[in-house]
C-alpha cells in the first residue's frame, strides 16, 4: 500500500468502508426482520391455537349443556325410579335380553314401567332436534339402558365389567352436579370418533341413575376448519389425545388413515413426550431426516385445560421466512447499486481534490534535487486557506530557508579556510607546552604518592592503638561493674551474717530457757513414784483387811459365806492393784532415766551452740567486713585507671582524626594531580585532534564549496 498513489489508497479505503457498512446493514436488517417475523409467526400460531382451543371448549360446553338439559325432564327420573321400584319389588327378577329380531324388551318395559312410553318418546323427540349426535339414552345403576334414541338397544347392559361399571357409578355419585366427560373415543357401535358424556340423575336428593350420549367428532372438525391462521400460507393442524396418542383431527392429508387411531407421526410423539414431561405449552423447531424429507418445521402446541387433549400447529420454516429472504435479496441488490454509485462519486471527488497535489509533488521533487528556483504555481497557491495552500506556503518558506542556509554555508566555508592556518600553528605550540606540564606534574604526583603511603601506615598504627585502648576501656568498665556487683553482694552477706548472729544468740537463749522449762516439767514425773508407793501401801492394807474379813467370815459360819466371797474379791482387787502399781513403778523408773539422758543432751547442745556455732558466726562476720573494705579499695583503683584510660583514648581519637585529615588532603592532592595529568594528556590529544581537524576543515571547506555549487539559485 505504501507504493500506491494516495488517490488509489483513499478510494480503496472508502470502498472497503462502504462495503462493510452495507454488509453490516444487511445483516442487522436480516436479523431484525427474522426476529420480528419469528415473533409475529409465533403470535399468529399461538392466537390460532387459542382460537381452536376456545372452539373445542365451546363445542364441549354446548354438548354438556345439551345432555344436562335432556336429564331435567321428569319422565326420565320417573323411568329410572320405576326401574328402582321394580327391582325392590322383585329382587330375583330377570330382565329379558336384547335381540335384533324382536322388540320383546321394549314390550316388557312398556308393560312393567309406567313412565317408559313417555320417557322413550321424549328421548326420540329430543334426539330428533339434535344435529350430529350418535345417540342419547337413559341408564340405571347397572348401566342397563332404559330408553334410547335407537330402540333395539333398550335393555342392554353397556358395561359388563363390574370394576369398570363401579368406577363409572362412583365418579357420577361423587360429582352429582357435573357432567362426566370421558373424552373423544372410538364408538363401539359406529367405529367413529365421538365425544362420550354422562350426567347423573337425582330424585329427592338421591342419585338413582344417569343419562348418556355421544356427539360425532365431525361437527368439531367442521368448527375447527372454519378458523384460519393469518400470515402463514401453508400449515398443518392436529388434535390428539396427549396420553394415548389417538389422533382426533388433522389437516395433513398424510394422516387421514390414522384418524381414530394411535398416531405414528414422530413430530406428534415428540410433542406428546414434552407434555407428559410437564411442558404443557410451547414453541420449538423440529427437524428429522426421516420426517418429510428432513425439512425444518416450526411447531406450536397447547394442552386443552382439564382435558387429555392437545392441539398442534406446524409450518415449514422455509415457507415462513420466504418473505424475509426476499426482502434480504432486495436489500442486497439495493446495497450493491448504492455501493457502485458511492464508489463512482468518491472516485470523481477524490480525483478533483487531489489534482493540486501533483503540483505540490513536483515542487517537493525540485527541492529534493536541490533546485531552489522559484515555482510560480506554488507561490500562487500559498495564499489559499485550504490544506493545499498551507502546504504550498510551507514549501515556499522551506525554499527560502534553504537559500539562506546555502549563503551562510558559503560564508562559513570561506572563514574556515582562512582560520585553518592559524589553528595549525597554535596547535603545535600547545602540544609543546602540554608536554612540559605533564612531566612536572608526574614528578609531583610521585612525591605525593609516597607521602600518602607514609601517612597511611602511621594512621593504621594509631588505629591499632585506638582499638587496644578501646578493649582496655571495655575490660575496665566490665571489671568495675563486676566489682560493684561483688561489693553489693558482700554488703548484703555482711548484713545477713550480722543479723543471723543476733538471731542465733537470741534463739540459743530461748532454747536454753525452753530446755530448762522442759527439764522442770520432766522432773515432775518423779512424783509418780510417791503416788505408786502410796498405792502399794493401800494395796497391802487392803490385803490385810481381806484376810481379816475372811477370818471373820469363817467364824461366822454359814451366815458369813456371802461376806467371805466379798472378802475374796477384795483380796483379788488388792493383788491386781499391787501388780499394776509395780508396773507403773517400773515405767516411772525408765522415764526418769530417759529424762536424765534428755537433760544431758540438751546441756551438750547448748554448749555446742555457745562454744562452736556462735564463735564461727563471729569469725565469718569479721571476714565479711574485711572483704568489703578490700573490694571498696579495688573499685576505687579500677575507677582511677578507667579515668586515665578514658583521657588517653580521647587524645588518641584526636590524633586519629588529625591523621585522617592529613590522609584525606594527601588523597585530594594526589587525585588533583592525577586529574591534572589526565587533563594534560587529554589536552595533548585535543591538540593532536586540532591539528587533524585543521586538515579536515580544509577538506570540509572544499566539500562545502562543492555542495554549494550543486544548488540552483534564482533570486
C-alpha cell, 74: 321428569
Judge whether residue 553 has pLDDT over 70: yes
Round to whole Å and give the CA distance between 603 and 585. 27
E strand or H helix at 213: strand 206-216
Q: Which residues pair with 147 in a beta bridge?
A: 138
Is residue 276 within 8 Å of residue 242, measured between CB atoms? yes
β-strand partners of 311 = 239, 302
pLDDT digits (tens, 9 = 90+) for 622-639: 766 666 676 666 667 667
293-318 tens-digit pLDDT: 888 889 999 998 888 889 999 988 87
pLDDT band per the 50, 70, 90 thresholds, residue 3: very low
Does the pLDDT at position 417 exceed 70? Answer: no
Of all residues in the chain, the percent with pLDDT exceeding 90 is 15
Q: What's the pLDDT at 209?
A: 95
* 450 within domain boundaries: no
- Predicted pLDDT of residue 2: 46
Q: Residue 65 has what pLDDT? A: 94
Residue whose C-alpha cell reads 587529554 in the numeric block: 682
Query: Looking at the domain assignment, is residue 186 inside a domain?
Result: yes
Confidence of residue 1 (pLDDT cuts 50, 70, 90): very low
| Mean pLDDT of the region 393-400 | 77
**107 has pLDDT over 80:** no
- Residue 279 within any structural domain of the chain: yes
Confidence check: pLDDT of 400 > 70: yes
Confidence of residue 346 (pLDDT cuts 50, 70, 90): confident
pLDDT of residue 167: 92
96 SS3 class = coil
Q: Domain count of the chain?
A: 1
- pLDDT tens digits for 351-381? 776 666 667 777 777 767 777 777 777 777 7
Cell numbers given for 84: 328402582
pLDDT at 366: 75
**Domain-located, residue 180:** yes
The three-class DSSP label of residue 248 is strand
Average pLDDT over residues 420-438: 60
- Contact, 530 vs 538, CB < 8 A? no
CA distance 571 to 548: 10
Q: Which residue shows C-alpha cell 586538515?
A: 695
Q: What is the mean pLDDT of residues 4-22?
A: 77
The residue assigned the cell 415473533 is 39
Q: pLDDT tens digits, residue range 172-219? A: 999 999 999 888 888 877 888 898 999 999 998 899 999 999 999 888
Cell triple for 286: 423440529
- Most confident by average pLDDT, 101-115, 334-348, 644-658, 699-713: 334-348
Among 395, 388, 357, residue whose Cα is nearest residue 374: 395
Kindly state whether residue 417 falls inside one of the protein's structural domains.
Answer: no
Sorted by sequence, the CB contacts under 8 Å of residue 360 that are 6+ apart come out as 378, 381, 388, 391, 392, 395
Q: Among 206, 240, 215, 207, which Cα is nearest to 127's?
A: 215
Q: Which of 73, 152, 144 is nearest to 107 (CA)?
A: 152
Alpha helices in 558-613 (DSSP H): 561-608
148 touches 135 (CB < 8 A): yes
- Please report the pLDDT score of residue 311 as a whole number: 92
Predicted local confidence at residue 231, as pLDDT? 65
How would you classify the pairing of strands 247-250 and 180-186? unpaired
Listed range (123-137, 196-210, 247-261) with the worst mean pLDDT: 247-261
Q: What is the pLDDT of residue 697?
A: 64
Specify the pLDDT at position 384: 75
Query: Which stretches of 369-386 are DSSP H helices?
Result: 376-381
CATH number of domain containing 266? 3.30.450.20
Dihedral angle at the C-alpha atoms of 564, 565, 570, 573, nearest 10 degrees? 150
pLDDT tens digit string along 494-514? 677 667 667 767 776 776 776
User: Which pLDDT belongs to residue 275?
Assistant: 92
Residue of 97 and 117 predicted with greater confidence: 117
Pairing of strands 712-713, 371-372: parallel
Domain that holds residue 71: 43-318
* Helix 387-523 and helix 561-608, axial crossing angle in degrees, nearest 10: 120
Cell numbers given for 154:
333398550
Q: Is residue 77 part of a domain?
A: yes
Q: What mean pLDDT comes out for the span 537-545?
A: 75
The mean per-residue pLDDT over the stretch 76-101 comes to 79
pLDDT score, position 119:
94
pLDDT higher at 36 or 165: 165
Q: What is the mean pLDDT of residues 153-164?
A: 87
Instruction: Flag whether 256 is in a domain.
Output: yes
Mean pLDDT of the chain: 76
Report pLDDT for 546. Answer: 72
pLDDT at 525 over 60: no
What is the predicted pLDDT for the residue at 122? 95
Does some domain include residue 465? no
Q: How confident is the model over 570-619, as pLDDT tens digits? A: 778 777 777 776 777 777 777 677 667 766 766 776 676 667 666 765 66
Distance, CA of 267 to CA of 265 (rounded, Å): 5
DSSP 316: E
Average pLDDT over residues 472-492: 66
Amino acid at each position: 500500500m505504501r507504493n500506491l498513489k494516495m488517490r488509489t489508497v483513499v478510494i480503496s479505503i472508502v470502498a472497503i468502508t462502504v462495503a462493510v457498512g452495507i454488509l453490516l446493514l444487511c445483516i442487522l436488517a436480516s436479523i431484525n426482520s427474522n426476529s420480528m417475523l419469528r415473533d409475529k409467526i409465533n403470535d399468529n400460531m399461538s392466537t390460532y391455537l387459542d382460537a381452536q382451543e376456545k372452539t373445542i371448549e365451546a363445542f364441549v360446553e354446548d354438548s354438556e349443556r345439551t345432555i344436562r338439559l335432556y336429564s331435567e325432564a321428569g319422565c326420565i327420573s320417573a323411568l329410572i325410579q320405576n326401574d328402582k321400584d321394580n327391582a325392590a319389588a322383585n329382587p330375583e327378577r330377570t330382565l329379558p335380553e336384547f335381540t335384533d329380531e324382536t322388540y320383546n324388551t321394549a314390550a316388557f318395559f312398556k308393560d312393567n314401567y309406567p313412565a317408559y312410553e313417555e320417557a322413550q318418546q321424549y328421548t326420540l323427540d329430543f334426539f330428533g332436534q339434535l344435529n350430529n349426535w350418535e345417540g342419547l339414552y337413559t341408564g340405571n345403576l347397572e348401566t342397563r339402558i332404559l330408553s334410547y334414541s335407537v330402540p333395539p338397544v333398550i335393555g342392554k347392559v353397556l358395561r359388563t365389567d363390574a370394576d369398570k361399571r363401579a368406577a363409572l357409578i362412583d365418579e357420577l355419585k361423587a360429582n352429582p352436579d357435573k357432567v362426566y366427560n370421558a373424552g373423544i373415543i372410538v364408538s363401539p357401535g359406529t367405529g367413529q370418533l365421538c365425544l362420550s358424556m354422562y350426567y347423573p340423575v337425582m330424585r329427592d336428593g338421591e342419585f338413582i341413575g344417569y343419562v348418556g350420549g355421544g356427539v360425532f367428532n365431525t361437527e368439531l372438525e367442521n368448527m375447527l376448519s372454519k378458523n384460519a391462521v393469518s400470515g402463514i400460507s401453508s400449515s398443518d393442524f392436529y388434535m390428539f389425545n396427549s396420553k394415548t396418542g389417538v389422533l382426533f383431527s388433522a389437516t395433513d392429508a398424510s394422516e387421514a388413515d390414522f384418524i381414530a387411531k394411535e398416531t405414528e407421526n414422530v413430530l406428534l410423539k415428540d410433542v406428546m413426550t414434552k407434555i407428559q414431561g410437564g411442558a404443557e405449552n410451547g414453541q420449538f423447531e423440529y427437524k428429522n431426516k426421516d420426517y418429510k424429507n428432513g425439512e425444518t418445521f416450526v411447531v406450536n402446541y397447547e394442552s386443552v385445560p382439564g382435558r387429555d387433549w392437545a392441539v398442534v400447529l406446524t409450518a415449514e420454516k422455509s415457507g415462513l421466512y420466504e418473505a424475509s429472504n426476499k426482502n434480504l435479496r432486495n436489500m442486497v441488490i439495493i446495497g450493491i447499486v448504492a455501493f457502485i454509485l458511492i464508489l463512482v462519486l468518491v472516485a470523481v471527488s477524490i480525483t478533483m481534490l487531489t489534482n493540486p497535489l501533483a503540483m505540490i509533488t513536483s515542487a517537493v521533487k525540485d527541492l529534493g534535487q536541490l533546485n531552489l528556483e522559484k515555482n510560480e504555481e506554488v507561490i500562487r497557491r500559498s495564499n489559499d486557506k485550504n490544506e493545499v495552500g498551507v502546504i504550498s506556503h510551507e514549501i515556499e518558506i522551506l525554499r527560502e530557508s534553504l537559500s539562506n542556509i546555502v549563503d551562510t554555508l558559503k560564508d562559513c566555508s570561506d572563514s574556515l579556510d582562512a582560520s585553518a592556518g592559524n589553528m595549525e600553528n597554535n596547535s603545535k605550540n600547545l602540544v609543546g607546552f602540554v608536554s612540559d606540564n605533564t612531566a612536572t606534574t608526574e614528578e609531583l604526583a610521585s612525591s605525593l604518592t609516597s607521602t600518602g603511603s607514609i601517612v597511611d601506615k602511621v594512621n593504621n598504627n594509631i588505629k591499632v592503638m585506638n582499638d587496644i585502648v578501646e578493649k582496655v576501656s571495655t575490660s575496665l568498665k566490665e571489671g568495675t561493674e563486676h566489682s560493684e556487683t561483688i561489693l553489693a553482694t558482700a554488703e548484703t552477706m555482711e548484713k545477713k551474717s550480722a543479723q543471723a548472729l543476733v538471731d542465733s544468740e537470741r534463739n540459743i537463749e530461748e532454747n536454753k530457757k525452753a530446755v530448762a522449762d522442759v527439764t522442770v516439767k520432766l522432773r515432775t514425773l518423779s512424783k509418780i513414784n510417791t503416788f505408786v508407793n502410796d498405792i502399794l501401801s493401800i494395796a497391802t492394807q487392803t490385803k490385810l483387811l481381806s484376810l481379816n474379813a475372811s477370818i471373820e467370815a469363817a467364824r461366822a459360819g454359814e451366815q458369813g459365806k456371802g461376806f467371805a466371797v466379798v472378802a475374796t474379791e477384795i483380796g483379788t482387787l488388792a493383788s491386781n492393784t499391787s501388780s499394776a502399781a509395780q508396773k507403773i513403778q517400773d515405767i516411772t523408773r525408765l522415764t526418769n532415766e530417759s529424762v536424765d539422758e534428755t537433760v544431758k543432751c540438751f546441756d551438750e547442745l547448748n554448749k555446742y551452740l555457745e562454744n562452736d556455732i556462735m564463735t564461727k558466726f563471729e569469725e565469718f562476720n569479721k571476714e565479711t567486713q574485711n572483704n568489703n573494705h578490700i573490694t571498696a579499695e579495688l573499685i576505687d583503683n579500677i575507677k582511677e585507671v578507667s579515668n586515665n584510660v578514658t583521657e588517653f583514648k580521647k587524645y588518641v581519637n584526636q590524633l586519629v582524626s588529625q591523621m585522617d585529615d592529613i590522609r584525606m588532603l594527601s588523597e585530594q592532592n594526589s587525585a588533583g594531580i592525577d586529574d591534572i595529568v589526565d587533563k594534560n594528556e587529554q589536552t595533548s590529544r585535543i591538540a593532536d585532534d586540532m591539528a587533524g581537524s585543521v586538515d579536515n576543515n580544509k577538506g570540509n571547506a572544499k566539500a562545502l564549496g562543492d555542495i554549494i555549487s550543486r544548488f540552483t539559485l534564482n533570486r
